[in-house]
Structure 1
Amino acid sequence: MLSQYVERPFVPHTDPSRAPDPEALARIEAVLTGPGAPFAVVRAEHGPLVYANGPRTLREFVETTWAFGDQPFLISGERVVSYGEFFAAASSLARRLTESYGLRPGERAALAMRNHPEWQIAFWAVQLAGLVAVPLNTWWTEGEFGYALDDCEPTVLLVDAEQLPKVADRGRKAGARFVVFHGEGALPAGAEWYADLPEPDPAAAPPEVEIRPEDDATIIYTSGTTGRPKGAVATHLAQAGAALNPRYQAAASALGRGVVPGQGPAPVTLMTFPFFHVAAFTSLYAAMASGGTLVLMPKWDAGEALRLIGRHGVTHYAGVPATALQLLAAAERAGDGLEGLKGLNTGGAAAPPDLVARLTAQHGERIEPRNGYGLTETSGGVLANFGAAYRAYPDSAGTPTPVTEVRIAGPAGEALPDGETGELWLRGQSLVRGYWRDEAATAEAFTGGWFRTGDLAVVRDGRVAVVDRIKDMVIRGGENVYCVEVEAALHDHPEVEDAAVLGVPHPVLGEEVAAVVRVRPGSVVTAEALRAHVGRNLAAFKVPAHVLVTRKPLPRNATGKILKRELRGALQEYGREGEGEVEGKGEGEGEGLRAG
């Protein structure tokens, strides 16, 4: 069926200002999603669209990767882990968790480590054991870790030695067990080194546990408008849908280029997303489904990325727009044509429109650009913009996957017609079921099965463009920074009378965190001192890069809400008029963008 379609492929326009043929795009979707097709879609009894075929749980998904055997899965430095080695190690650890520790399906297992191969072994061991994986942000402070651990109450923590000091006290008080990776020496009671465990048996199967599609698979923490983290809970069926979404997008891309999906060698992807970030799952699932290889980086460095791309024959790049821009700049400086690269995939933050223009100017149309839209609550990307469509519409987040429905909602939740701006609502297989132990937040975010994203968007000809955010949030290099959380930290300083935190444009990171702080009369506190105060309580990427100290009242409307739009324009004006002092840490390209 697919080969018959390829006899009359859609050929992308050579003029990037022209859109692809809508009829050809409709034919592609029809051939992939019709009855009996690889991505056939049905409507579930409870409402959302779901894939009719494919895995229903993450255990089903990962078990198929065993067939890739000796193909390389993870490359970290000089170390290469094949699919067979990975699956044997994950199965062995899963049996350790169930047989030795006595853990049962539904119990939580927290993960906190950098992008080591063992992160993937640990995550998939949790899935094979029927536990609920809770990936934690390794950039968090001890206090931030503590809040999440108190909330999810894990019975086991899978951590590297670097993160152990930040979680040890909370874990011990909760009576949790520890498996510690990458280190040596004495450990607290209830902990053991992963390196001391028995060698995995390649012939041994994972433990026999019952896992149902409706069972919880992951809890990934995000933050809401209250500034307190919320655990977004995805079922196995939701994560299975998330695993199929990038496969569909890859197939649609291949057909658009006149190629039968699945032909050619497996992709080799340079993975720069930290594994705890939901954007990483989209690239991870795509690689695992095709027997692809992930090349890992301990921290982001554009020059090192160029070296790895050349050494390992990397075909696809995956990272936030900030790192992609730095990669293109480094390649241009080095005269590196990135000859082996076939795809440049960005996510985690809105890509500046000039990214695809720079890519095309430097490399023509040989490297396919791809970006999209996804949230923790959607378990990864659910809108995608790639190839000629991306070049024609660089401001768009793309089109939805077959199991994702889009509504542009008005003030009363009514569906608005194409061309009108409203709140973006989403419904589909990969959406989370709600927030962990937070019925109020769940009820506020979900309406009749629809998730209210808090983003303002518009739909034209099936393409979604996100035009603004309702939620008070800054996305710095792919990391969400919630303004109220930073404002709370500033208000905790005894010399602060009022504070407003907002995002300001940054050419590489997309946005930087800025703060306007009104200090008490007679205060001599400096901007740098305020930054240091925030840094003692919050992760480094949340610390304002620019702080303006003023003695003037902050602008507010009649209801008392700070008018941040005025502050954005006033930041530079205040500095010129000498009404305050603007201090910051400078551009700091790449700071805080390490991969794990």
Structure 2
Amino acid sequence: MTQAQVQHPVRSMATVTAQLVAGGSPFEMETVDVNGVSTRVWKHAPPDLRAVLESSAQHGGTPALVYGDEHLSHSAYFRTAATLAHRLTDQYGVSKGDRVAIAMRNYPEWVVTFFAAVSIGAIVVPLNSWWSAEELRFGLTDSEAALLVADEERLRSLSADLPELGVPAIAVRSGAQLPRGARSWEEVVGEVTGDVGLPPAELAPDDPAAIFYTSGTTGVPKGALSSHRNMISNIVSGQYGRARSLMRLGLDLPDLLEYMAALPTQVILCVLPLFHTTGAQTVMLPTLANGGTLVLMYKWDTDEALRLIERERVTAITAVPAMISQMLASPRLDDHDLSSLLTLASGGAPAAPDLVSRARNHLTDVLLGQGYGLTECSATATVNGASDYVLRPESAGAPVATVDIVVVDPGGAELPAGEVGEILIRGPGVMLGYWRRPDATAEAFSGAWLRTGDLGYLDQEGFLYIVDRAKDVIIRGGENIYCAEVEAAVHEHPAVADVAVLGVPHEVFGEEVGAVVRFWEGQHVPPEELLSHLRSRIAPFKLPEHIRSTAEELPRNAAGKLMKKQLKEQQGWSSAPPDTSG
């Protein structure tokens, strides 16, 4: 199935959905009680994440993880994870419900640690590897982590804090002197035997499995507590989305299953950080659960991505639109054999509609797609692919069969198709709640419905369109930056009287961080001095790229809230500036 074969869909969404979820189909559903709520779930999904790890043992010598020149087979990956699981229980006393924090770049050890911990019932806490030391410390203390597994850079930034926190650490790929209480990965894992199995553990689908931190509009990170069921839903949802897109082209279910079975084993280039739900839950989990190969990148590099696609015969990539744009614009694009690439999907940030035409011009045989979700609903809520994406590139897609989406007015009444309101989500991926934040959890839900804080509408066929973000957030290359957090850090400078942080449109990153600052009378701070003040308080990716000062009062409404739309227009930040990169 090639992009050239894409034509107008002739089959309705209702017809395709009915065939896909029929009894005996891989996408069959059942209704179960999830914490008191009747919920449609995928009947044939794995029962828990431990089962996902155990399935790797069945794929033998097929590569599971690739990093640089390192290749780890599924059987070797399983044995290493099982060995680490024993070390966690025997040497560190980790038991069900204990939190194990991971703070590192996309190394194979990230994946091994994740599955080793969840397979014994521990709760994994992926920490943002771009966070400052202060932010990492917050993640460790808020989650009350029993153990930290971190790379050299993260350990170095936390070296002064770990003894005080009393958190033991396992050091990954570190040649430096280790802080007190830390041991090397090699020392901890030790010998990996050929007959090792997992330690015994009793798990249930709705047991908590991970805490993914997401900042709130107050600027204080909140931990979205995800269950095993939340995350394993992504494994089937991704397959379902692709299947639905292909059946919309006219395939019947038997032909579809035959076609999908004939596809080569998936080789996925993981360009997104694993501490994000998109990287961990929509890329890592389905790839390994289906016996595929996960090709890890330390950080995004266009030339390296093109080289890896050719060398590893990569079949699919999920990336933020900025990465896809950079790849398509590379002058070396045609120097590489990209014929193995079957799917190119965007996520983590809205994609510009013109991305479709650019991709079709350069990669004519690649099926395109995008989706919508958020940390609180375990990533996948809607999927838009194949001809649907070509015809509706501005849509986030239609909900997968286990997910319900409604759009409501400020009073909570459901709105008809075409009318804009807040998007609410219900389904098996919706989080258990925010970690030890009952008030925030209550605010996030309307009954069984998750309030996304995003504004949008549904069309007559059920396709979702995102028109704005009700939350005050900047998305820079897929990274969420909450304005209130940056504003709070700027306000800590004694010369600052008022500040507004805004998203400045950018051709590559989507948005950059801009700040309009009013200083106290008689005081003025140069931008570099203000940035120096901020570097010890917030992560580098949150630092403002644009800083302007004003002697005027910042515009506010009658309620005292900043009128940011008006301020953006005043600053000329309502449209993307010209590309001056040369």
Same fold (TM over 0.5): yes
Deviations 1:510-565 (A, max 9, x none): 11111111112222312232233222211111111111111111111111111100
1:64–1:527 distance in 2 versus 1, CA, 3 Å: same
Distance in 2 between residues matched to 1:524 and 1:54, nearest whole Å = 59
Contact 2:245 2:387 in 1 (8 A): no
Matched letter for residue 396 of structure 2: A
Matched, 1:478 2:470: no
Q: Secondary structure at the match of 2:380?
A: strand
8 Å CA contact 1:20–1:389 kept in 2: the answer is yes
Cα distance in 2, alignment partners of residues 527 and 587 from structure 1: 21
Query: Distance between the aligned counterparts of 1:171 and 1:132, measured in 2?
Result: 20
Q: CA 1:291–1:422 in 2, change beyond 3 Å: closer, same or farther?
A: same
Contact between 1:73 and 1:292, CA under 8 Å: does it hold in 2?
yes
TM-score norm. by structure 1 comes to 0.91
Aligned equivalent of 1:362: 362
Tell me if the contact between 1:243 and 1:286 (Cα under 8 Å) persists in the aligned partners.
yes
Q: What CA deviation, in whole Å up to 9, does each residue of 1:491-521 have, x standing for no partner? A: 1111111100111211111111111111122
Q: Does 2:350 align with 1:347?
A: no
Residue of 17, 20, 29 corresponding to 1:29: 17
The residue that corresponds to 2:241 in the other structure is 249
CA contact (8 A) 1:322 1:509 kept: yes
Q: How far does residue 12 in structure 1 lie from its aligned partner after superposition?
A: 8.5
Give 1:285 shift. 2.0
**2: CA distance, partners of 1:310 / 1:495:** 53
The Cα of 1:63 is off from its aligned counterpart by: 1.4
Determine the C-alpha separation between the residues in 2 that align with 1:506 and 1:375: 22
Distance in 2 (alpha carbons) for counterparts of 1:333 and 1:79: 25
Report 1:280-299 matches (<5 A).
Answer: 280=279, 281-299=281-299
Deviation string 1:264-311 (CA, Å, 9 cap, x unpaired) is: 211211110011111112011221132111212212111111111111
Distance between the aligned counterparts of 1:168 and 1:126, measured in 2? 23
Q: What residue number does 2:519 align with?
A: 519
Q: Distance in 1 between matches of 2:64 and 2:191?
A: 19
**Deviation per CA, 1:348-399, whole angstroms, max 9, x where unpaired?**
11111111111012233x1111111111101112111111111101110001
Change (3 A) 1:555 1:91: same
Compared with structure 1, are the counterparts of its residues 250 and 172 closer, same or farther at alpha carbon in structure 2 (3 Å cutoff)? farther
CA distance in 1, matches of 2:162, 2:228: 26
- In structure 1, the partner of 2:185 is 194
Quote the residue 1:240 is aligned against.
232
**Structure 1 residues 573 and 96, CA, compared in 2 at 3 Å: closer, same or farther?**
closer
Query: How many Å separate the matches in 2 of 1:254 and 1:166?
Result: 48
Output the CA distance in 1 between the equivalents of 2:489 and 2:296: 34
1:226 aligns with: 218
Q: What CA distance in whole angstroms lies between the structure 1 residues aligned with 2:375 and 2:510?
A: 19
- SS of the residue corresponding to residue 121 of structure 1 reads helix
1:254 and 1:62, CA in 2 relative to 1: closer, same or farther beyond 3 A? Answer: farther
State the match for 1:115 in structure 2: 106
- List alignment gaps of at least 5 residues for structure 2: none
CA distance in 1, matches of 2:502, 2:384: 28
Question: Could you tell me how far apart the structure 2 residues matched to 1:335 and 1:239 are?
Answer: 38
CA distance in 2, matches of 1:228, 1:11: 44
SS of the aligned residue for 2:262 comes to coil
Opposite residue 474 of structure 1, the aligned amino acid is: I
- In 2 relative to 1, CA 50–275 (structure 1 residues): closer, same or farther, beyond 3 Å? same
Instruction: Tell me which residue corresponds to 1:494.
Output: 494
Do the aligned partners of 1:178 and 1:192 also contact (CA within 8 Å) in 2? yes
Aligned mate of 2:198, from 196, 200, 206: 206
Are 2:241 and 2:384, in contact at CA under 8 Å, matched by a contact in 1? no
Structure-2 separation of matches of 1:522 and 1:185: 47
Structure 1 residue ranges without an equivalent (≥5): 1-8, 575-583, 590-596
Contact 1:557 1:563 in 2 (8 A): yes
1:542 aligns with: 542
Kindly indicate whether the alpha-carbon contact (under 8 Å) linking 2:150 and 2:169 is maintained by their aligned counterparts in 1.
Answer: yes
| Equivalent residues, number | 566
CA distance in 2, matches of 1:308, 1:443: 45
| Residue aligning to 2:402 | 403
Provide the C-alpha distance between the structure 1 equivalents of 2:401 and 2:6, rounded to a whole number of angstroms. Answer: 27
| Pair 1:573–1:139, CA change in 2 (3 A) | closer
Relative to structure 1, the CA distance from residue 246 to residue 588 in structure 2 (aligned partners, 3 Å threshold; closer, same or farther) is farther
Q: Look up the SS of the partner of 1:147 in the other structure.
A: helix
Show the counterpart of 2:389: 390
Alignment correspondent of 1:131: 122
Q: Deviations over 1:91-128 (max 9, x none)?
A: 00001111222221000000011111111011111011
CA contact (8 A) 1:455 1:469 kept: yes
**Cα deviation code 1:202-241 (max 9, x no counterpart):** 2111000111122110000001111100000011121121
2:172 aligned with 1:165, yes or no?
no
Conservation of the 8 A alpha-carbon contact between 1:331 and 1:338: no
Matched with 2:27 is 39
Question: Deviation at 1:446?
Answer: 0.9
Report the TM-score when normalising by structure 2. 0.93
Q: Quick one: distance in 1 between partners of 2:490 and 2:503? A: 16
Q: CA–CA distance in 1 between the matches of 2:164 and 2:116?
A: 24
Instruction: Say if 2:169 is the partner of 1:178.
Output: yes
Which sits farther off after the overlay, 473-482 or 189-198? Answer: 189-198
Structure 1 pair 192–336 and aligned structure 2 pair: CA distance change class (3 A): closer
Q: Which moved more, 1:469-478 or 1:521-530?
A: 521-530
Higher mean displacement: 125-134 or 436-445 = 125-134
Output the amino acid matched with 1:97: L
In the alignment, what sits opposite 2:308? 308
Which whole-Å CA distance do the structure 2 matches of 1:305 and 1:222 have between them?
28
1:442 positional shift? 0.1
What code does the residue aligned with 1:495 have?
A
Contact 1:238 1:432 survives alignment (8 Å): yes
Question: Using the alignment, how far apart are the partners of 2:21 and 2:145 within structure 1?
Answer: 39
* Alignment-mate amino acid for residue 58 of structure 1: L
Q: CA deviation at 1:201?
A: 1.4
Q: Report the more deviating stretch, 325-334 or 452-461.
A: 325-334
Aligned letter for 2:92?
Y
Counterpart residue identity of residue 360, structure 1: R
Check conservation: 2:231, 2:429, Cα contact below 8 A.
Answer: yes
Find the residue that maps to 2:533 and give its secondary structure. helix
Paired residue type of 1:421: V
Preserved CA contact (<8 Å) 2:342 2:367: yes
More displaced 10-residue stretch of structure 1: 294-303 or 107-116: 294-303
